[in-house]
A and B are shown apart, each in its own frame.
Chain A
Amino acid sequence: MFARGVVLTGFLFLLGASAGSGQEGKSYPADMAERVQACTPCHGVQGKGTTDPYFPRLAGKPAGYLFNQLEAFKSGRRKYPPMNYLLAFLTDDYLRQFADYFADQRPTLPEKSPTEVSQAVLDHGHALVTQGDLDRAIPACASCHGGSLTGQSPGIPGLLGLRPSYISAQLGGWRYGTRTAKAPDCMQLVAGRLTEDDVRAVAAYLADQPQPSDPAPSPAGSYALPFACGSQPEGGK
């Protein structure tokens, strides 16, 4: 009880602090890069990603999204044993500092690998990402993740700099219920409507996109989401 109380109090404190301070004043110490060295073999220096196809880039994703993932790995709601293990005994305060650190990083996108799919598949991916498929009630990825696909603060991640196999694996995780998020779990709804071919096309298209001119996520509330999403509680219309 007491432990949770301490964690919760610290968490609220940080929420209050970050809400007030905006961009100025880092919430993490100067040597944060050293403290997150445990993340680098899989996620790369500054969270920029590695050549490994499975592990995601963390750099520049919104802090709220990163914190939600860290908290979900810690509690076991998002299952990946090596991550569950690493975070099990860290506090929410500290995980929020991890999130803030990676959110602030702006390394260039990792070099993309040549795509392994046909132009027709890329075109199908392009259509789903930018327009969705109204007949199947699939919203465009861009309608939540932004026209430049860099996400929206605080909870919607950017989709660039990720390898196709990682994107496929996450969409698959949502479709089969092994990855979940706070209710209403919008990604689970969307992913459930995708076919295997859709997943392949979206993953290939996203992984083939160039570095955006501005990699920062859009500010909170800068555009309305097409539906309610538990990870972005104020974003739905």
Chain B
Amino acid sequence: MRRTTAIFSAMLALAATPMPAAPQSPQPAPPDVVKKGEYLARAGDCVACHTAPEGRVFAGGRAMPTPFGTLYTSNITPDEETGIGRWSSDDFYKTMHHGRFPDGGLLYPAMPFGSYTKVTREDSDAIFAYLKAIAPVHQPDRPHELDFPYNNRSLILGWRTLYFNEGEFKPDPGQSEEWNRGAYLVEGLGHCGMCHTPINALGGSSESEAFKGGLIPMQDWYAPSLTSNKEAGLGDWSIEEISDLLQKGISTRGAVYGPMAEVVYNSLQYMTDEDIRAMAVYLKSIAQDEPAPPRPSVRTEEASLLISLGKTVYDKECASCHGFEGEGKPPHYPPLAGNQSIQMESAVNGIRMVLNGGYPPATIKNPMPHGMPPFAVSLSDDEVAAVVSYIRTAWGNRGTPVSAAEANKLRSAPLQ
């Protein structure tokens, strides 16, 4: 019902929308509003997508590869011709809340308006005030390169019917103010669901699947479930451990890596301790279910060979940092024993960590992170599979062995 209403109101909006008006109030917004807007723009991680590599900040042009073709992000600086200089705060709210341009045109859902719709009008206005206060950059948007039939924007209407639930965040009166603040940030500006909710073949995600994890299309990283304590569910983590992971990028339980490192680097490290704590409280509360234990996908005789080779590789290459018993040297070298990230049903992330290594992001609270070497050069597919199988099954870990073929496949995973 809600969805149908949303579609109708969206269509009405399409019919009634005037062309963007010239800005009504030329006076700049008060500095405290601009400052708040800057903070909220950080919380929304706008910069990550709206800035191209080596490009001007917020001038757009970053390529966003999707299974349907490549989208290029738009210029959101206040340039009058190529940016949002002629937009009003109503226009801005319309893109955030309804997923529509000022002229009524539909946004591709690569822009997370499905999450941003939860943002309050007041917060949207503050972000807009901030974007109006930054330096304009004259840079025309680059046209999208989408494959037929996805280059037909009217298809977005169908997508919206299925997957878009418009509406601001509604606090749960049965929960604390802190919990509600966390939920607002996680579900709204944080748009965590863009990765942590599984995406189907139509590029959609449904509410019943919220935060249940999934492989991120085009990136070959697995975004773990936030609701399952067998994955990245944080039910048995302390608030401090969760906060550290989000804000510092490292914790005594594990470190962020892959796409999550970018989120911490660009966004979460700048959040206040209070907001980080609120997000931690909310994230801890949604981690509940305990799925069935995973089944081995590799034949047992192959598995036992792999695991014995794996121990040899591990003791030689990994134990100096992660410990012979997988105990790690937290927080800089995460423990592997009992580490959820390693035992997940999908072994993609563990294999990729071994192949590609990585540094946690340099953050205000951890400016000089320790890194893990990439082993793609020095280990064979068999050795990678063996060592990943070993860490997934040693020390009481309850993951499953992986095959050399799986390791080989991920050698060509994109490193962006």
A residues at B contact (CB < 8 Å): 1-4, 29, 34-42, 52, 55, 75-77, 81-82, 84-91, 93-94, 97
B371 lies within 8 A of A38 (CB)? yes
Q: CB distance B57 to A29 under 8 Å?
A: no
Separation in Å of the B263 CB from the closest CB of chain A?
10
Measured between beta carbons, the chain A residues less than 8 angstroms from B357 are 38, 86
Write 17 A-B pairs (CB below 8 A) sorted by A numbering.
Answer: A1-B58, A2-B42, A4-B57, A35-B370, A37-B371, A38-B373, A75-B54, A76-B54, A85-B415, A85-B416, A86-B371, A87-B359, A89-B261, A90-B359, A90-B369, A91-B367, A94-B367
Asked if B356 and A52 make an inter-chain contact with CB atoms under 8 angstroms apart, the answer reads no
Given A2-B38, A85-B356, A94-B362, are A76 and B53 also a contact pair (CB < 8 Å)? yes
A167 CA / B270 CA spacing, docked (Å) = 42
Distance of A42 Cα from B357 Cα, bound (Å): 12
Which parts of B290-318 form the interface with A (CB within 8 Å)? none
Question: Taking the nearest CB of chain B, how far is it from the CB of A60, in angstroms?
Answer: 21
Alpha-carbon separation in the docked complex, A2 to B42 (Å)? 9
Whether the pair B370, A37 counts as a contact (CB closer than 8 A) is yes
Residues of B within 8 A of A55 (CB): 377
In the complex, whether B361 has a CB less than 8 A from a CB of chain A is yes
| Chain A residue nearest to B256 in the complex (CB) | A89
Q: How far is the CB of A86 from chain B (nearest CB, A)?
A: 6
Choice from A2, A34, A40 contacting B270 with Cβ under 8 Å: A2
Give A29 to B321 CA distance when docked, in angstroms.
19
Instruction: Flag if A82 contacts B54 (CB, 8 Å).
Output: no
Q: What residues make up the interface of B, taking CB atoms closer than 8 Å to A? A: 38, 42, 47, 53-54, 57-58, 134, 261-262, 264-266, 270, 321, 356-362, 367-378, 414-416
> What distance in Å separates the Cβ of B50 from its nearest Cβ neighbour in chain A?
12
Q: Is the pair B361, A39 in contact by a Cβ cutoff of 8 Å?
A: no
Task: Please give, as numbers and ranges, the residues of chain A lying within 8 Å of B262 by CB-CB distance.
Answer: 88-89
CB contacts (< 8 Å) of B266 on chain A: these are 3
Set of chain A residues within 8 Å of B42, measured between Cβ atoms: 2
- From DSSP, what is the main secondary structure of chain B's interface residues? loop
Identity of the chain A residue whose Cβ is nearest the Cβ of B134 in the assembled complex: A1
Known contacts A89-B359, A93-B367; is-contact A82 B374 (Cβ 8 Å): yes
A81 and B415 contact, CB distance less than 8 A: yes
Q: How far is the CA of A89 from the CA of B369 in the complex (A)?
A: 10
Does B377 contact A1, Cβ atoms closer than 8 Å?
A: no
Bound complex: CA A82 to CA B372 (Å)? 12
- Chain B residues with CB under 8 Å of A3's CB are 47, 266, 270
Q: Which residues of B contact A91 (CB under 8 A)?
A: 362, 367
Residues of B within 8 A of A88 (CB): 261-262, 265
Binding site of A, secondary structure by majority: helix, strand, loop or mixed? helix
Chain B residues whose CB sits within 8 angstroms of the CB of A29 once the complex forms: 368
Shortest beta-carbon distance, A97 to chain B, in Å? 7
Inter-chain pairs besides A89-B362, A97-B368, 18 sampled, C-beta below 8 Å: A1-B47, A35-B371, A37-B370, A41-B374, A42-B374, A81-B416, A84-B415, A85-B356, A85-B358, A86-B356, A86-B371, A88-B262, A89-B261, A89-B262, A90-B359, A91-B362, A93-B362, A94-B362
Contact of B373 among A40, A75, A87 (CB under 8 A): A40
Chain B residues near A1: list those with CB within 8 A: 38, 47, 57-58, 134
Alpha-carbon gap, A63 to B369, bound state (A): 20
Question: Are A34 and B368 in contact, with the CB atoms below 8 A?
Answer: no
Bound complex: CA of A77 vs CA of B266, how far in Å?
A: 20
Residue in A closest to B376 when the chains form the complex, CB atoms: A82
Chain A residues whose C-beta falls within 8 Å of the C-beta of B415 in the assembled complex: 81-82, 84-85
Give the residue of B58, B270, B374, B377 whose beta carbon is less than 8 angstroms from that of A86.
Answer: B374
B379 to chain A, nearest CB (A): 9
CA distance A12 to B157 in the complex (A): 50
Task: Give chain A nearest CB distance to B128 CB in angstroms.
Answer: 15
Please give me the residue from chain A that is nearest to B375 by CB atom. Answer: A41
**Bound CA–CA A41/B38 (angstroms):** 41
Of all chain A residues, the one with the shortest Cβ separation from B249 is: A89
B377 pairs with A52, CB closer than 8 A = yes
Once the chains are docked, how many angstroms separate the CA of A29 from the CA of B134? 37
Q: Are A86 and B359 in contact (CB under 8 A)?
A: yes
> In the assembled complex, which residues on chain A have CB atoms less than 8 Å from the CB atom of B270?
2-3
Contact residues in B for A39 (Cβ distance below 8 Å): 373
Q: How far is the CB of A135 from chain B (nearest CB, A)?
A: 38
Which chain B residue lies CB-closest to A82? B374
Give A97 to B370 CA distance when docked, in angstroms: 13
In the assembled complex, which residues on chain B have CB atoms less than 8 Å from the CB atom of A93?
A: 362, 367
Assess the B53–A89 pair: CB atoms within 8 A. Answer: no
Complex alpha-carbon distance, A38 and B262, angstroms: 19
For B376, the chain A residues whose CB sits under 8 A away are 82
Query: Which residue from chain B places its CB closest to the CB of A10 in the assembled complex?
Result: B367
- Contacts of A82 on B, CB cut-off 8 Å? 356, 374, 376, 415
Q: Which chain A positions have C-beta within 8 A of B360?
A: 89
Measured between alpha carbons, how far is A67 from B329 in the docked complex, in Å?
Answer: 29
Name the 9 nearest CB pairs between A and B, nearest first. Answer: A38-B371, A89-B361, A81-B415, A85-B415, A89-B265, A76-B53, A91-B362, A41-B373, A38-B373
The answer to whether B368 and A94 touch across the interface, beta carbons within 8 angstroms, is yes
Partner of B378, one of A41, A77, A85, A90: A41
Give chain A residues whose Cβ lies under 8 Å from the Cβ of B374: 38, 41-42, 82, 86
